[in-house]
Amino acid sequence: MKVKNLVLLGIVSYLTMACTQTIIVYKPSKQIDPLPKVESEEDKDAKSKGLDPMNEDQWALHKVGISKDVLNKDENLKGNYNVKVAILSTGIDYNHKDLIGQVHVNKSEITQEGLADEKGYNQKDDDKNGLVDDIVGVDVVDNDGLAYDRHGAGTAVAGIIAAKTNNATGISGIMKEVTLYPVRYINDNGQTNLANLLNALDVVLKVKPDVVFVQQLQFQLGGRDKDPALIEAEISLMKKKLDKIKELKIPVIVGAGEDIESFGTSRLDQVIRSYDNVVVVTSTNESDNLSFLAKYSFTAVHTSAPGENVLTTQPLNQYGKVSGTAFAAAHVTAAVALAKAKYAEKLSMQDLVATLISEKGGDYIQSLDRYSRGGNRLNVVKFLTALAK
C-alpha cells in the first residue's frame, strides 16, 4: 500500500509540474512543421471575388440560418480580427488557401519581416507573453511554436468557424473576420492525455482569448486501474485551471462527446457541467435529429448544432466531411465569437447562455426537446438578433 501511495504521489507531482512550469520551446524542424505563409495582397483582394463554389453543399451553414443572401448582407456576421478564438485541438493547417489570414501569426517572434526563418527560433520570449517562439499558436505535443495539423480535426473546426468568405475558393465560414489561435494538444493519431490538456489550458491563461473551443474532454482518468484517488487528484489539477479561466470570464465551448451513455454521468462530465462559463453542445444531422451516439442531457447539455457530415476544410488545401459533437460545438463557438465581436464586454455569460437555450436564440425542434436544455438547434442569425434586444 505504501508503494502504491508513493507512485501516486509521483504521478501527481509530475502532473503538477506539467501545468505550472513555463513552457520550454525547442527549435522545431522545418521538415516537421511548415513555416507560415503570409496573406498576400492578392489573397486579400480575393475576398471579394464572389461566392465560394462549395457553398451550395454546406447544408450545416444554411441550417444555422446563414443562407447565401444572409452571408452577403448580414453585417452581424462580419466579426472582428480583434476577437481571438483559441482552438484546443490537433492544430490548424495555417497555410490552407481558405484559412490564410484567419490564423494568428505572431510577427513579434519572427526576425525576418513577413516570413519566419531559422533565425526566428531563438528560444526567447521576444514579446514577453510567457510563451517562447509561439509563431503560430503553441504545440504542447511537440513542444514548439508551430501548431500545425496533420490529423484534420482542428483544421475542420477552423473552416467551420472562419473559412474565408466570397474568395471564390472552397467553402464559406460563419465569421468573415476573426483571429484563430491554435493550441495543439492532441497528436496526429487523435490521442492526448491530462498533462497535455493542462499545458493547453495554461496557454489559454497566458493568451487570454475571447472564446475557447476544446476538441474533446473525453479521456480516461486515473491511469490503467482507474484509481479513485488518482482520479480525484487529476480532477483537482484540472479544476484549478478551469477556475482561473472562469475568473477571466472566458466562454469555453465543448462537444458533449460520443458514447452510449448520456452526458453528465462520468466524473469528467460532472466537473465540466459545474462551470457556468462552459457551454456543452450536442450534434444533429441534416434532418434535425440527434446524431447517432451523440451524448445528450436535458439538464447538462445546453443546445445542439449541425455535427454530422459537415463539409469543411482539411489539411493540404483539401476539403471533406466530418462528424462529431466537437464540430457541432464549432458552430456555437463561431456564434459566441460573433457575439463577442458585436457586444464585447456588455455581454454577460448569463445572457449568452440564456439566449442560446431560448427559442429566440435558436430553432426549437420537437424531436430534440429531451436532448438539451434548450431543446433547440443553433440559429446564428436568431441568436445575434435576440442578444440585441
Please give the pLDDT value at position 25. 43
For the chain, how many helices (H) and strands (E)? 11, 11
Please give the pLDDT value at position 352. 94
The per-residue pLDDT for range 179-216, each reduced to its tens digit, is 999 999 999 999 998 999 999 999 999 999 999 999 97
Distance of CA 310 to the CA centre of its chain: 16
The per-residue pLDDT for range 252-309, each reduced to its tens digit, is 999 999 988 899 888 889 999 999 999 999 999 999 999 999 999 999 999 999 999 9
Domain span holding position 314 = 2-387
Q: What is the CATH number of the domain that holds 25?
A: 3.40.50.200
Closest by CA to 304, choosing from 330, 272, 273, 276, is: 330
DSSP string across 121-180: --SS-TT-SS-SS-SBSEETTTTBSB---SSSHHHHHHHHHHPPSSBSSS---S-SEEEE
**CB 197 within 8 Å of CB 120:** no
Please give the pLDDT value at position 129. 79
Give the other-Cβ count within 10 Å of 136's Cβ: 28
Total domain count, the chain: 1
Mean pLDDT of 219-235: 86
Residue 152 phi, psi (nearest 5): 120, -25
How far is 7 from 9, CA to CA, in rounded Å? 5
Please give the pLDDT value at position 24. 39
Question: In the numeric block, which cell numbers belong to residue 365?
Answer: 425542434
pLDDT-derived band at 43 (thresholds 50, 70, 90) equals low
**CB 211 within 8 Å of CB 250:** yes
Closest by CA to 66, choosing from 199, 171, 204, is: 171
Please give the pLDDT value at position 164. 96
DSSP state of 191: -
Please give the pLDDT value at position 344. 83
pLDDT-derived band at 120 (thresholds 50, 70, 90) equals low
The per-residue pLDDT for range 54-113, each reduced to its tens digit, is 999 999 999 999 998 898 888 889 999 999 999 999 999 999 999 999 999 988 777 654
State the pTM of this model.
Answer: 0.89
Closest by CA to 161, choosing from 381, 335, 380, 340, is: 335
- Burial bucket for residue 379 (CB in 10 Å: 0-12, 13-18, 19+): buried
How far is 83 from 175, CA to CA, in rounded Å? 11
